[in-house]
Each structure stands twice: as C-alpha cells, then as structure tokens.
C-alpha cells in the first residue's frame, strides 16, 4: 500500500512544470543564441495590482517577455524600457526589465477584453495595427540608447524586426500566453533564437525546420520544462546561464519626493495653500505615497536652496 501511494505521488510530481525563470543557451556549434522563458507570476503580479482584463493582460505579458529577452542580454546594472503602442484601445504598453531578471509593466487601458468567435483573446483588436515600438536602453553611458520601429500589432514579428533593424541581428521570436477563467496567467513566455555573426547557411536551414514546433509555444510551455523545449529545438544546446524572474518595482517615497522637487515653486505653493495632503501613485506597481502639507513645505524649502 505504501509503495502504491509513493508511486502515484511520483507520477503527480513528474508533471509539475517549473516556471518563473529564463535560460540562456548556445546551440548549433555555438552559431545560435537561444533564450527561453516562462514567467506567469510576474504577469500575475501586474494583473492583480492594476486589475487588468484578459486581452490587455495577454498583450502586456508578451511585451514583458520580450523585455526580459532584452534585459537578459544586458550586464550589471544596465536596464531597458520598452514602449509598445500600435494605436489600439489598450494604448501604450510600458515595460522595464534589467539584467538580473527583474521586470515590471503596465498598460494604458486596463479594462480591455476582446475575444474571437471561438472564445480566444483577440490581441489584434486590443493592440491595433499602426504605431511604434520604442526600445530605450540605459547602458550607464552619457546618453540613453533609443531605437524605434513600426508596430503592427504582431508583437513577436515587431520585436524580431527591431533586432534586425536596430541591432543587425537576425532573430526569430515565438511567444505564448494563456489566461485562465480566473483572469490569471497559467503560462507567459516564449523563445528567442538569434543567429550569431559566425552562423552559416546550414544554421538558417536548420532553424527553418523547427517552425512547426515554434508555432506551438503556448502548448509547449504548459506541458514541458524550458530545458525540454530547448532539447526539442537543438541537439547540441548548452545552457550558459539562468535567471530567476520576478516582478520588481524599485519605487519608494524618496523617489517620489525627488519627483515633486522637479515641480515649479508655484505648483508646490498651490498644493501647500490647498491645505490638504496629496497622493502620488506609481504607474508601474500601483503603490500610493501620501505627502502631508508639512512634507510639501520641506520639499519647497529644498527647492529654494
């Protein structure tokens, strides 16, 4: 009886898929770079904090995934901001990510939920089809690195185009997001495959044979670990790095105080004359910070120095 119980437990345990991490790999004789990620918890944190409805949430999740891909290629304290707006009702989708697996994001309009006739989410109607994708990298140099390409409402294709046009790196991206009936993400991730400068025509031909697998990304992320998906794509893949992924917003009251310090003296004086505390809200995480009249006076005094 004990043996049967343990055997059943082992079967149940074997189907648990580890999530919320990203792996970096080299493949095809080190001619190809591969990033794979599945991080539903980061998206769910954003959903809960902002009360984001399904089709808006699904679009945010895919932009968060691409932000994580961009961040995974950075170093140290470098960071990246992605602004995606294809002109649809969801408005701008803003995502920040860094080299350490931290990500945060929000959408312009939270309560959007368009569905297809089959019940699936209609991301095209949510996103629109005419706008811009902006990538702003903070590499801790004198100036920020900024690049912009057209946004068509196909997030994977648009980011692939960004890599080709702005970083001169042929890139294939496949994304997958699934939102359940409770409006929480079951999976949220995808794969990025890039040709390195030493890539041959054989590498391109090989990747083309894997298109059928890449089209099933949502299903694969539900049923397979990232390492298993990597093995499906490449026989010789070598994992060279791993990042734990989490939603992290570094906002705090001091930072908002610094923001208030950039206001004009006139604006600060009007707030003080009103005689009421003011409340500031972080767009990324929804945290609220209240400043009393006395605190506003202190900020005004600093401005006068």
171 and 143 within one domain = yes
Single out the residue in 203, 220, 247 at which a domain terminates.
247
Question: Which pLDDT score, from 0 to 100, does residue 143 have?
Answer: 86
Q: Is residue 211 part of a domain?
A: yes
User: Is residue 13 predicted with pLDDT exceeding 50?
Assistant: no
278 and 206 within one domain = no
- Give residue 191's region: left, alpha or beta (phi > 0; psi -120 to 50): beta
57-93: pLDDT as tens digits? 999 999 999 999 999 999 999 999 999 999 999 999 9
User: Is residue 1 predicted with pLDDT exceeding 80?
Assistant: no
**Count of domains observed in the chain:** 2
261 and 230 within one domain = no
Q: Is residue 71 part of a domain?
A: yes
Q: Is residue 16 part of a domain?
A: no
DSSP letters spanning 154-195: -HHHHHHHHHHHHH---EEEEEEEEE-TTS-EEEEEEEEEEE
140 and 275 within one domain = no
Say which CATH number the domain at 106 has.
Answer: 3.55.30.10
Q: Is residue 162 part of a domain?
A: yes
Say which CATH number the domain at 294 has.
Answer: 3.90.1280.10
Report how far apart the first and last C-alpha atoms of the chain are (Å, whole number): 78
Question: Which pLDDT score, from 0 to 100, does residue 20 have?
Answer: 96
The pLDDT-based confidence of 119 (bands split at 50, 70, 90) is confident
What is d(CA 98, CA 49) in angstroms, rounded to the nearest whole number?
Answer: 20
Longest CA pairwise span in the chain (Å): 79
User: Is residue 5 predicted with pLDDT exceeding 50?
Assistant: no
200-259: pLDDT as tens digits? 999 999 999 999 999 999 999 999 999 999 999 999 999 999 999 999 999 999 999 999
Strand 185-195 vs strand 32-38: parallel, antiparallel, or unpaired?
antiparallel
181-199: pLDDT as tens digits? 999 999 999 999 999 999 9
Q: The pTM is what?
A: 0.90
110 and 34 within one domain = yes
Which one-letter DSSP state was computed for residue 129?
S
Q: Is residue 168 part of a domain?
A: yes
Q: Is residue 11 part of a domain?
A: no
223 and 155 within one domain = yes
Expressed as residue numbers, the domain containing 257 is 253-303
pLDDT averaged over every residue in the chain: 92
Structure tokens at 133: 């994708």
Q: Is residue 12 part of a domain?
A: no
Single out the residue in 200, 232, 247 at which a domain terminates.
247
179 and 260 within one domain = no
190 and 56 within one domain = yes
Structure tokens at 123: 């991301």
Pair 46, 33: CB distance under 8 Å = no
87 and 151 within one domain = yes
268 and 186 within one domain = no
206 and 258 within one domain = no
185 and 273 within one domain = no
Q: Is residue 8 part of a domain?
A: no
């Amino acid at each position: 009886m004990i043996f049967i119980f343990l055997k059943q437990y082992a079967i149940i345990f074997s189907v648990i898929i580890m999530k919320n991490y990203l792996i970096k790999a080299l493949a095809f004789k080190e001619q190809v770079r591969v990033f794979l990620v599945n991080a539903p918890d980061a998206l769910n944190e954003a959903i809960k904090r902002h009360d984001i409805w399904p089709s808006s949430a699904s679009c945010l999740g895919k932009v968060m995934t691409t932000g994580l891909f961009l961040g995974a290629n950075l170093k140290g304290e470098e960071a990246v901001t992605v602004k995606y707006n294809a002109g649809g009702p969801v408005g701008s989708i803003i995502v920040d990510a860094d080299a350490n697996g931290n990500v945060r994001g929000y959408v312009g309009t939270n309560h959007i939920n368009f569905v297809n006739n089959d019940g699936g989410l209609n991301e095209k109607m949510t996103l629109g089809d005419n706008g811009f994708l902006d990538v702003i990298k903070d590499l801790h140099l004198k100036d920020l690195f900024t690049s912009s390409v057209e946004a068509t409402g196909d997030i994977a294709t648009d980011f692939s185009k960004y890599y080709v046009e702005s970083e001169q790196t042929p890139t294939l991206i496949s994304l997958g997001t699934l939102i359940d009936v409770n409006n929480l993400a079951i999976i949220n991730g995808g794969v990025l495959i890039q040709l390195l400068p030493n890539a041959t025509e054989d590498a391109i031909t090989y990747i083309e044979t894997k298109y059928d697998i890449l089209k099933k990304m949502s299903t694969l992320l539900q049923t397979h670990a990232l390492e298993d998906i990597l093995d499906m794509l490449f026989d010789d893949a070598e994992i060279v790095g791993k990042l734990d992924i989490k939603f992290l917003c570094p906002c705090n009251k001091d930072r908002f105080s610094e923001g208030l310090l950039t206001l004009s003296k006139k604006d600060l004086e009007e707030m003080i004359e009103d005689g009421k505390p003011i409340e500031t809200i972080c767009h990324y995480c929804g945290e609220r910070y209240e400043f009393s009249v006395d605190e506003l006076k202190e900020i005004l005094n600093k401005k006068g120095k």
